[in-house]
Structure 1
Amino acid sequence: MRVAMLAAALALSGGMMLAGCMTMPGSQTSFSPRLSAPRLDVVDASDLSEAQRDMLGSRANLNIYRTLAHHVDLYNRWSPLGQVLLNGTSISARHRELAMLRMGWLCQSPYEWSQHARIAKASAGVSEAEIRAIAAAPDDPMWTDIDRAVIRMADELRYEAMISDATWADLRKVYSDSQVMELLFTAAQYQLVSMALNTLGVQVEPEAVDFMPADLAMPVLATRAAGPRLALPRIAPVTEDKWTPEQRALIAPQVRPDGTALNLYTTMLNHPKLYGPRARFGSYLQRDSMLDPETRELLIMRTAWNIRADYEWAHHVEYAKSAGLSDQQIADIAIGSQAMGWNARQRAVLTAADELRREAFISDATWAELAKYYGMKQRIEIVYTVGGYTMTGLAINSFGIQVEPGYPAMPN
């Protein structure tokens, strides 16, 4: 069965070497059971803070929001990006939902599947047969070429942490560069959402009628990405002489004293509507979260190594040193939790990053170990840090964002 599943995944991805063929320390061969009860109960409607009332007042009465209301500060910095991707892009509703549902299936997220199967039928014209085929038959003749490319994109982002040349070309037959950016961030956002829903144990709504298929072979687990990275950009950075007044205002906080900005930011300027929400969420994770700098950098750099985001690794070496990590510890991040010298807390942090990469879920044992050192809000931030930096890494890899001269290379 395992061999057949790997073969199917390999065929789906056009012959590319999927990460499911590799291993990470402590990897298992199948998904952990999803939680049948929440790790974090929904907020008590009779005992809400003003900030929670403000947050929930504009949201549907759903378990996802009533769970995330435990951490309003994080939600408020992340939600604008989600709102753009859900309601503000120029891609078709159909392809938005195909990307979300396929990623939900690959991450085995029952809540995400339930919600977006409902939305896909109600507002995107996706049929019951098509919804099942998103999981069961991604190569079915019912799909158009662009449908198939969107589904394949989700697989490539989950397993190889990058859109392949062939899939990029197929997407560009229908969509512009900026629209492909929207497709990528949509899939990446719902990988993050799956991580949070699964790990917090957010339960499917009691009135739900759409459920993730339980009679199909599960997808393969993800491990370290294996494929080559781009030597040239697919999306060129916007040079300073081409900045519009809107772009200049957006990038102003990231402009360095010499008037330049990093390639990540000048590339993201190609999509001004995504730029601000993505930057505000990223700045929360990097500077404003409740996590201490060492924990943050362990999560970010292990995630960068797992998805082979060279740019992300290169730019966080100095942050890691500033957080107190030695050169040897930074090198050991590539080895992971099994490296000699980590204490129990550091091992739990690195293991959490690996588990989120592998199956979009933190195991009971690791969650319990994290609880010895981190409060609930901090543990939520652990999930969002891995998911958020995975999102950035997928963009870096797929857009071909090149490391600027002078930064250290990621070890192999």
Structure 2
Amino acid sequence: MKSAILTSSMMLAAAGGWIAATMFAQPATSKEPRFPQLTMDQLSAAQKPLGEEIMKISSVGIGGPYNPLMRSPVLGQRLFDLFHYLRWETSVPTKLNEFAIIIIGRQWRSQVEWFAHAPLAAKAGLSADIIAEVKEGKKPSKMAEDEAVVYDFVTELTTTQKVSDETYARAKKVFNDQQIVDLTAVAGNYVMVAMMLAMAEETVPPGKESPFKVGEK
């Protein structure tokens, strides 16, 4: 039953999620990729079970952060399960969850995270103005109370390594304990994903425009 739910939920991402969006992304430079793109027939016995789970939700292969993570298949499997919770079972409303993800994507200037999640944030109801201002590196000028809490909570935690009593008190007014924990986890998770993508020099799919231009702050 759990496997069926996982497969069904993850299939929803195939059309627009970050997994499908990052398939076969390669470095923007002409040098050799740090992690050549794996195919199913190249996978070892230890890698194949994870590869088969990924293939259930994508018809184009294994890419994005999964390409480097496949080199550590036990870790990759654990993160695959974590990604599932933080995307489809989290207690944080989807719009706010995606907002937190694009905040991290912008902090890291992660081409893949922004390319994949900005459209998902818009689809979930986050305003185009908020998305545009975050992309420009600005604090959005007009946010609902829960959106402002997410922005300040995530930004404060990731840039100052703490959450002030004032910010925490604001969060407690709009979120319960589980939501605060889940919000913290999704922010931290996508820092890790951004790190993995940056280390592996993964970028947007061929033929797609990178969200962040060279030289932009």
- Tell me the TM-score normalised to structure 2 length: 0.73
2:28 aligned partner, one-letter code: S
The answer on 1:194 being equivalent to 2:185 is: no
CA deviation after TM superposition for structure 1 residue 194, in Å: 0.5
* Contact kept in structure 1, 2:39 and 2:62, CA below 8 Å: no
What are the superposed Cα offsets for residues 268-311 of structure 1, whole Å, 9 maximum, x if unpaired? xxxxxxxxxxxxxxxxxxxxxxxxxxxxxxxxxxxxxxxxxxxx
- Mapping of 1:87-98 within 5 angstroms? 87-98=88-99
* Contact kept in structure 1, 2:171 and 2:180, CA below 8 Å: yes
1:118 aligned partner, one-letter code: P
What are the superposed Cα offsets for residues 2-44 of structure 1, whole Å, 9 maximum, x if unpaired? xxxxxxxxxxxxxxxxxxxxxxxxxxxxxxxxx5253112203
| Structure 2 residue aligned with 1:149 | 149
* Contact kept in structure 2, 1:138 and 1:148, CA below 8 Å: no
* Contact kept in structure 1, 2:92 and 2:179, CA below 8 Å: yes
* Contact kept in structure 2, 1:85 and 1:186, CA below 8 Å: yes
* Contact kept in structure 1, 2:146 and 2:174, CA below 8 Å: yes
C-alpha distance in structure 2 between counterparts of 1:194 and 1:92, whole Å: 22
2:180 aligned partner, one-letter code: V
- Listed as ranges, the gaps of 5+ residues in structure 1 are 1-34, 219-412
C-alpha distance in structure 1 between counterparts of 2:183 and 2:128, whole Å: 22
| Structure 1 residue aligned with 2:34 | 39
CA deviation after TM superposition for structure 1 residue 136, in Å: 2.7
CA deviation after TM superposition for structure 1 residue 138, in Å: 4.4
**Closer, same or farther in 2 for the Cα pair 1:174/1:207, shift >3 Å?**
farther
The answer on 1:165 being equivalent to 2:165 is: yes
**Closer, same or farther in 2 for the Cα pair 1:137/1:74, shift >3 Å?**
closer
**The residue matched to 1:51 in structure 2 has which SS?**
helix
C-alpha distance in structure 1 between counterparts of 2:215 and 2:132, whole Å: 10
* Contact kept in structure 2, 1:121 and 1:128, CA below 8 Å: yes
| Structure 1 residue aligned with 2:4 | none
**Closer, same or farther in 2 for the Cα pair 1:212/1:167, shift >3 Å?**
farther
| Structure 2 residue aligned with 1:300 | none
**The residue matched to 1:162 in structure 2 has which SS?**
coil
* Contact kept in structure 1, 2:50 and 2:76, CA below 8 Å: no
- Listed as ranges, the gaps of 5+ residues in structure 2 are 1-26
**Closer, same or farther in 2 for the Cα pair 1:36/1:53, shift >3 Å?**
same
If you compute each CA radius of gyration, which structure gives the higher value, 1 or 2? 1
| Structure 2 residue aligned with 1:236 | none
| Structure 2 residue aligned with 1:117 | 118
Runs of 4+ in 1 over 6 A off after TM superposition: none
**The residue matched to 1:91 in structure 2 has which SS?**
coil
Aligned residues: 182
C-alpha distance in structure 1 between counterparts of 2:207 and 2:171, whole Å: 36
CA deviation after TM superposition for structure 1 residue 54, in Å: 2.2
What are the superposed Cα offsets for residues 161-212 of structure 1, whole Å, 9 maximum, x if unpaired? 2222222111111111111111111111101111001111112123646x43
Cα-Cα RMSD: 2.4
CA deviation after TM superposition for structure 1 residue 45, in Å: 3.8
C-alpha distance in structure 2 between counterparts of 1:216 and 1:180, whole Å: 35
CA deviation after TM superposition for structure 1 residue 215, in Å: 8.7
C-alpha distance in structure 2 between counterparts of 1:164 and 1:217, whole Å: 30
**Closer, same or farther in 2 for the Cα pair 1:146/1:182, shift >3 Å?**
same
**Closer, same or farther in 2 for the Cα pair 1:120/1:127, shift >3 Å?**
same
The answer on 1:78 being equivalent to 2:73 is: no
- Tell me the TM-score normalised to structure 1 length: 0.41
* Contact kept in structure 2, 1:99 and 1:151, CA below 8 Å: yes
What are the superposed Cα offsets for residues 322-366 of structure 1, whole Å, 9 maximum, x if unpaired? xxxxxxxxxxxxxxxxxxxxxxxxxxxxxxxxxxxxxxxxxxxxx
CA deviation after TM superposition for structure 1 residue 125, in Å: 1.7
C-alpha distance in structure 1 between counterparts of 2:213 and 2:128, whole Å: 15
